[in-house]
Amino acid sequence: MLAHHAEVAWSQFLEFIQERTSSSEYENWIAPIKLLKATDQEISLEVPNIFVREYLFENYKRELINFLPKREDGEPALLFVIAEQKRQEISPEPPSFSPVQSSEQPEVKLNPWYTFDHFIEGPSNQFVKSAALGVAARVGRSYNPLFIHGGVGLGKTHLLHAIGHYVRTHHKKLRIQCITTEGFINTLVENLRNKSIDKMKHFYRSLDILLVDDIQFLQNRLNFEEEFCNTFESLINQNKQIVITSDKPPGQLKLSERMIARMEWGLVAHVEIPDLETRVAILQHKADQKGFRLPQKVAFFIAEHIYNNVRQLEGALNRLSAYSRLMGLDISEEIAQKSLGGLLQKVPSQKISVENILKSVAAIFGVRIPDICGSSRTKEIAFARQVAMYLAKELVNESLMKLGSSFGGKTHSTLLHAWKKIGNQIETDDQLKQQIQMARKNLEDV
């Protein structure tokens, strides 16, 4: 078979399979396979993970033999390269797996500081905290699943572990597992390698509460996603509790519709950027925890200049305390400025207010401000209102609750819905994209 023929043979094989599988199965398993090299002796394929190789041999061994070059022993002459393993080659014989990622302890220990007691509440996180507490107190009987999403360093992992601590203390008999998505994938790979997948399935399916951190890492890992989804369904069907964190809401994750729908079943809660007062309270709490006194003025100074990530606030505090200790200086605003330098952000422009956004949107869309803030459901007005809400959430450093009240008392979920909807629409609607760019430019030039 000539190289060219081997290539043709591979595409004929694909066509053959495509006609015989459902489109989702084809998309999940076959489409991600890349043909790397085809010679008359051998075909090299890149697969996203070892499952795909297993799948091929389990389901299409006969076809592989019929269509593709064979080895002397009659087995298909295929060489697999696993993309995840940085192109480390593995032996072609199924099903003996070559070493994959090193085994990693799946269990994420709960961080002892990440409890509800150490979580400072404010308008930005009240809703999500009470949802987390509700779940911890009534495992499997309140919101299921609970899906917590929000930006980096805003306390998602903290809340997840807080649920874990609470359950451990108050419901000692419940079987709990807290794991990162990476940890889940590694365990899965490890168990496949050791042929102990049934044991793993049994373990996961016997839990009472599963806490999963950073589900965004399941994106583009199709076969792991399927196993995760099965675990998920089996737990939910038995009323077992699931809590998931993510950096994006379910609808914005690149996951299957099935998975997204499952995650939207229960309650989706958003952790927002804390407002100034909450940031100050967090700083004071962390300083107490570390046993040093932080003057209120300095706390305000730091909170004003570091505003979109609580982890950074904590980092600033550590740096400031180390600096003052080493230099033997009392903590003051001046010392904060000196020691924090590059960590400090520009105080956001006060010019962009909801009022200005309303003016700009009203002008661009030809509607009246009172209509935007009113309750008219006319298509044009409702759309302009959603655009204004989108811009407010993007540009004004206020909690959703406060923003909602600037729109004539709309709820925080109305705002969030508008933000998501417009955010998605911008991706495909060029005219809207331009209108929003124009509004942004008007606002920034004020």
Tell me the residue nearest to ligand ADP as measured from the CB. 155
Residue 276 burial (C-beta neighbours within 10 Å; 0-12, 13-18, 19+): middle
Please state the closest distance from residue 273 (CB atom) to Mg ion, in A. Answer: 15
Decide whether 168 or 205 has the Cβ nearer to ligand ADP. 168
Residue 274 burial (C-beta neighbours within 10 Å; 0-12, 13-18, 19+): buried
Tokens of 13: 């094989």
Decide whether 317 or 357 has the Cβ nearer to ligand ADP. 317
Q: Which helix (H) or strand (E) holds 203?
A: helix 197-205
Cis peptide upstream of residue 94 (ω within 30 degrees of 0) = no
Decide whether 287 or 372 has the Cβ nearer to ligand ADP. 287
Please state the closest distance from residue 340 (CB atom) to ligand ADP, in A. Answer: 17
Cis peptide upstream of residue 32 (ω within 30 degrees of 0) = no
Residue 298 burial (C-beta neighbours within 10 Å; 0-12, 13-18, 19+): buried
Residue 314 near which of ligand ADP, Mg ion, none (CB within 5-8 Å, type-dependent): ligand ADP
Please state the closest distance from residue 153 (CB atom) to Mg ion, in A. Answer: 8
Distance CA 282, CA 10 (A): 59
Catalog residues that contact ligand ADP under the rule CB under 6 A: 114, 118-120, 125, 152-158, 282, 310-311, 314
Residue 398 near which of Mg ion, ligand ADP, none (CB within 5-8 Å, type-dependent): none
Decide whether 157 or 187 has the Cβ nearer to ligand ADP. 157
Please state the closest distance from residue 211 (CB atom) to Mg ion, in A. Answer: 12
Decide whether 32 or 153 has the Cβ nearer to ligand ADP. 153
Tell me the residue nearest to Mg ion as measured from the CB. 157
Please state the closest distance from residue 128 (CB atom) to ligand ADP, in A. Answer: 10
Residue 433's alpha-carbon distances to 138, 361, 381, 425, 441, in angstroms, are 44, 13, 18, 8, 12
Residue 145 near which of Mg ion, ligand ADP, none (CB within 5-8 Å, type-dependent): none
Residue among 318, 254, 260 at smallest CA distance from 291: 318
Residue 125 near which of Mg ion, ligand ADP, none (CB within 5-8 Å, type-dependent): ligand ADP
Tokens of 213: 């951190």
Catalog residues that contact Mg ion under the rule CB under 5 A: 156-157
At CA 146, angle to CA 145 and CA 151, rounded to 5?
135
Decide whether 46 or 247 has the Cβ nearer to Mg ion. 247
Decide whether 112 or 328 has the Cβ nearer to Mg ion. 112
Please state the closest distance from residue 157 (CB atom) to Mg ion, in A. Answer: 3
Please state the closest distance from residue 153 (CB atom) to ligand ADP, in A. Answer: 5
- Per DSSP, the residues of 44-74 read EEEESSHHHHHHHHHHHHHHHHHHS-B-TTS
Contact 230, 242 (CB under 8 A): no
Please state the closest distance from residue 253 (CB atom) to ligand ADP, in A. Answer: 16
Contact 235, 144 (CB under 8 A): no
- Per DSSP, the residues of 27-42 read IIIITT-EEEEE-SS-
Residue 329 near which of Mg ion, ligand ADP, none (CB within 5-8 Å, type-dependent): none
Decide whether 171 or 311 has the Cβ nearer to Mg ion. 311
Distance CA 294, CA 286 (A): 10
Please state the closest distance from residue 282 (CB atom) to ligand ADP, in A. Answer: 5
Residue 315 near which of ligand ADP, Mg ion, none (CB within 5-8 Å, type-dependent): none
Residue 119 near which of ligand ADP, Mg ion, none (CB within 5-8 Å, type-dependent): ligand ADP
Decide whether 153 or 295 has the Cβ nearer to ligand ADP. 153
Residue 152 near which of Mg ion, ligand ADP, none (CB within 5-8 Å, type-dependent): ligand ADP
